[in-house]
Amino acid sequence: MSDSSPTLKERLQADVKSAMKSGDKARLGTLRLAMAAIKQREVDERIELDDTAVIAVLDKMLKQRRESISQYEKGGRHDLAEIERAEIDVLQPFLPQPLSEAELTRLIEDALDRTAAKAIGDMGKVMAILKPALQGRADLAAVSKTVRTRLGA
């Protein structure tokens, strides 16, 4: 990287070391899971992940944990839901600040204007513009639902 700020992956690695030194096993476990997911994707795709790709990996991990919480709550397993929440608390600070409702609406409107989207068939073009800007900053499923509604579906 050209500037001196550490990459997201470097920050994660530093936090792994810090958690090891402090003996925080729960935090360490979650950070190691994140590093393993990143490494797996790098090996699978034979690439070095940049911050955008690392955010995508972490975002996917958070989505999985939210889904697990929902399932555990339905099954009355609040103990397991709490473990998932703790993992979310460890991973969340590595993601960019979530977008406000106003920022999200502005980005959706801009994407609709730029693509001249008029019907549901234009959904792919709109989401292609939105996805990179929203990765890790908004729930893409909710955004997709909003765009679908705007396009009259």
pLDDT in tens, 72-125: 999 999 999 999 999 999 999 999 888 888 999 999 999 999 998 888 888 889
pLDDT value at residue 135: 78
Taking CA atoms, 152 is separated from 7, 128, 135, in Å, by 41, 19, 24
Nearest residue to 63 via CA among 129, 131, 130, 136? 136
Q: What tokens does 10 get?
A: 């470097």
pLDDT in tens, 21-48: 999 999 999 999 999 999 999 999 999 9
* Degrees to nearest 5, angle at CA 50 with 8 and 135: 80
Query: Comparing 48-62, 80-94, 124-138, which segment has the lowest mean pLDDT?
Result: 124-138
Where would I find the H helices in the chain? Answer: 8-22, 25-45, 51-74, 78-91, 101-115, 123-134, 140-150
Question: From the centroid of its chain, how far is CA 39?
Answer: 17
To which CATH superfamily is domain 8-94 assigned?
Answer: Uncharacterised protein YqeY/AIM41, N-terminal domain (1.10.1510.10)
Compute the distance between CA of residue 112 and CA of residue 127 in angstroms, rounded to an integer. Answer: 9
Q: Is the dihedral angle over the CA atoms 38, 39, 43, 48 positive or is it negative?
A: positive
Compute the distance between CA of residue 92 and CA of residue 5 in angstroms, rounded to an integer. Answer: 19
Domain boundaries, the chain: 8-94, 101-150
Q: Pick one of 1.10.10, 2.30.42, 3.30.310, 1.20.120 as the CATH number of 101-150.
A: 1.10.10
